Structure 1
């Protein structure tokens, strides 16, 4: 087995990895950490989406929402299956961890209280997931994950179309329903900004890039997400605290991220800037729906029939 330095050089030169026997310990550790976040995020989106899916306004909408949940459960199991190949126990990961031990992104620790929040999550959070996974599919050095993500990507496209279509319908239906979408976007947009992690100038662990588990930096991924969500909001007449700066040729925020978040009320306190260490602490403490959602999954209480 080559040294870590030599192995990273081989990876950067295009070497693909097929199984555990070809990995250094550093590569395996970085890959498993990334897979766990992906698996947990896909899995925990299912209970987050469940309640409001049952409150969908039409049977067709409910069928589409249920299809999204089924897809997300399947995507989670793909990542857990890959973790099994790396020595992890899938049953233990899903059913024997405590709620705070899950590593899903913080957005799926929040209660979704309206159908407008549900479809906005499809349109914005699923966009964030797709940005991340599309980058991994295109650039990853781990061949089994690259192949598995072809199916995932096609299904995520459906999630996005469903979410954005309903965001448009609700925004055009009445001032009241547009207001509900705006309320959802108010707390989801800044959460999407946080979704991609620390800014590049504060991220010291570069293993994901060095091992080519992903190809783009956090800030590059954040820009990619904003390049879709900001124009969508503008098109729907929704307010978001960001705009495209032609001179800088990038999307810029209209507040100094990160800022404090009142999780119980889903309210960003833009006048209270905080440090990224505070954000990491909030993520580790998990959000208000974390325990409820994990318990729903582990008890097998999510029924996805229409």
Structure 2
């Protein structure tokens, strides 16, 4: 079978979730990103087997999303340490999810996914779709995010250097250390701190199911 470092999945999945606030923000942000990406594929792909398979995936993602967003609202309403923990989780997960959508359109050189109808929207368009749901959610519950709606441009603007360096041990973005996208890809290839453990857990569970 494949080694842990050979699996390709978003960098966010390689980060440890160490408390309930991080778990629900992961549901609220990461699953929203999954729905945004896969929903676009389902709507536009010309490949029938993929379109049919995504119906079930979308249902599962929606359940996770509802769970995450409802708990984000509850933690924000509780105030105090619960809301502070929620804000800390959002602080590192919001920029991380922005990265999921990949290269900005002005840097992307290949359009094969669009040309062959594997997807319908560009990376920046998908990033806008995600922000159009996530930014109002956070603003509505009193949680700060580094993005806002630009009335003049009629689109969401990112209010922090993007992309930039990330400290996985501290779970902190180093906004004074901007990166190129080539450096981001190198970070992704190196994987995150929990990559091997999480993949081995999945492989172990998969192997056990066959053993039984």
How high is the TM-score relative to the length of structure 1? 0.66
- Aligned match of 1:89: none
Q: Which residue does the alignment assign to 1:163?
A: 68
2:156 corresponds, among 232, 251, 275, to 251
Instruction: Tell me, yes or no, if structure 1 residue 220 matches structure 2 residue 125.
Output: yes
Do 1:296 and 1:302's aligned partners in 2 also have CA atoms closer than 8 Å? no
Q: Take 1:129 and 1:115, find their aligned partners in 2: how far apart are those partners? A: 20
| Matching residue of 1:138 | 43
The one of 226, 229, 243 aligned to 2:134: 229
1:175 Cα deviation after fit: 1.2
Matches for 1:1-306 after TM superposition, within 5 Å: 96-300=1-205
Larger radius of gyration: 1
- Offset at residue 155 of structure 1 (A): 2.4
- The secondary structure found in structure 1 opposite 2:89 is helix
Q: Moved runs in structure 1, 4+ residues, more than 6 A?
A: none
1:20-51: CA deviation from partner (whole Å, max 9, x where unpaired):
xxxxxxxxxxxxxxxxxxxxxxxxxxxxxxxx
Higher relative contact order, chain-length normalized (CA < 8 Å, sep 6+)? 2
Give the number of equivalent residue pairs. Answer: 208
Q: Which secondary structure state, in structure 1, belongs to the residue aligned with residue 192 of structure 2?
A: coil
Cα deviation, residue 263, structure 1: 1.3
**Structure 1: 5+ residue stretches without partners:** 1-95
Deviation at 1:302, TM superposition (A): 11
Answer yes or no: is the 8 Å Cα contact 1:258–1:279 preserved in 2.
yes
Q: Which runs of 5+ in 2 are unaligned?
A: none
1:206/1:301 Cα in 2 relative to 1: closer, same or farther (>3 Å)?
closer
Q: Look up the SS of the partner of 2:175 in the other structure.
A: strand
Aligned residues: CA RMSD: 1.4
Q: Distance in 2 between matches of 1:228 and 1:263?
A: 26
Question: How many angstroms apart in 1 are the aligned matches of 2:166 and 2:71?
Answer: 27
SS at match of 2:143: coil
What's the offset of the Cα at 1:271? Answer: 1.1
1:154 is displaced (CA, Å) by 2.3
* Distance verdict in 2 for CA 1:260–1:302, change over 3 Å: farther
Distance 2:177 2:36 in 1: 29
Aligned-residue offset at 1:301: 8.4
